[in-house]
Structure 1
Amino acid sequence: MSSEADETQGQVLGVVFGVIALVIALVIGVVVHHTGKQRAAKAAAVSTAPVAMADASGASVVVENGVVKFYFATGKADLAAGANDALATIVTGTASGQKALVSGFHDATGDAALNAELAKQRAFAVRDALVALVALGVAADSIELKKPEETLATGSNDQARRVEVSLQ
């Protein structure tokens, strides 16, 4: 009888240890899942915070609330360093089916026709940067250009010389 009791006791202990191992695995799984959600929430919070990058030419790029704003040096259409990094949120949006709206703006100083043409060249530069990211999921037909607008009395001319990219 003692060998039967030992065998039964061994089976019970095996089941108990199995249940304990299962509970531990479940707890670890829940902790890992919860930690992943917290990291995703932190990443989302970081992506909505304003991020600015500038270079020596005076050109800069700012990402704020999902809108990418490119600021340009006077008379230039060169993108600031970090343009591709700043466009990451737009790339993600277009990959999910949204359209990228590229809007050019210009200041009120100088010749209006030249300003409008320069704003158009700037918008094309931003569009071309997006199209260059085709490998990351941006198709040319997911980009819409909006006619350049003149910015009047809303701040400095530096702020007026910009292109904004947003998702629709």
Structure 2
Amino acid sequence: MSGVADDDSQQNFVLALVLGLIALVIMFVIGIVLYSHNHKARPAAVGAAAPATTVALVTETVSVVIPDGASIRVVGDTVNFYFATASADLAPHAAEALAAVIKGVEGGRRAVVSGFHDTTGDPVLNEQLARKRAEMVRDVLTGLGVPASKIDLRQPAVTAGSGSDAQARRVEVKLVD
């Protein structure tokens, strides 16, 4: 019996190590994006106020699809982070989408974060996973310097997402005034 427990323990350790390394790589990429964003040429008037106009994140749809099911999609003022089945890990290419949310918040907007799940499996576990995914996005944003007071974690009235199962497993971040 202890041999099986040891094997499970070793598998869990390796899985945690791999997931930790993936998270480290994601944070590194996010850091590079934010560093390059913050070190672009500045206007001559140091400390000048930002223009009062508000613009959408992007004028067209941006999508990155990852074969394992994790992906991101940016449409206007909404960023969707899609997740692989039974996972709360962000897509490896999420840095651009996170940077877009950060830029919107820096422009005076608030980020409303909501988690959704697909309809397969245990409904109670699905709701917990939807919340865990939303908390993951919130925690990454706050870890990247977004003030917690600018992020609203909201549970939607219906947490079962619409569309295919892959489209339903998402966290939606809406930038609002």
TM-score tier after normalising by the smaller chain length: 0.5 to 0.7
User: Contact 2:83 / 2:170 at 8 angstroms: preserved in 1?
Assistant: yes
| Aligned counterpart in structure 1 of residue 147 of structure 2, from 135, 139, 151 | 139
Q: Aligned residues, how many? A: 121
The 1:70/1:46 distance shift into structure 2, 3 A limit, reads closer
Aligned pairs for 1:145-156 within 5 A: 145-148=153-156, 149-151=158-160, 154-156=162-164
- Say whether 1:50 aligns with 2:61: yes
In 2, the alpha carbon distance for the partners of 1:45 and 1:94 equals 12
In 2, the alpha carbon distance for the partners of 1:155 and 1:53 equals 18
Taking only aligned residues, the RMSD between alpha carbons, in angstroms, comes to 2.0
Q: TM-score if structure 2 supplies the norm length?
A: 0.62
Gaps of 5+ in 2: 1-54
In 2, the alpha carbon distance for the partners of 1:46 and 1:139 equals 19
Q: Which residue of 2 aligns with 1:100?
A: 111
In 2, the alpha carbon distance for the partners of 1:50 and 1:91 equals 18
Q: Which has the larger radius of gyration?
A: 1
- The offset of 1:46, in angstroms, is 8.8
User: Contact 2:56 / 2:76 at 8 angstroms: preserved in 1?
Assistant: no
- Say whether 1:82 aligns with 2:90: no
* SS of equivalent residue, structure 1 residue 150: coil
Gaps of 5+ in 1: 1-43
Identical columns (%): 49
User: 2:169 corresponds to which letter in structure 1?
Assistant: R
Structure 1 stretches of 4+ with a deviation exceeding 6 A read none
User: Contact 1:104 / 1:164 at 8 angstroms: preserved in 2?
Assistant: yes
| Aligned counterpart in structure 2 of residue 159 of structure 1, from 167, 172, 176 | 167
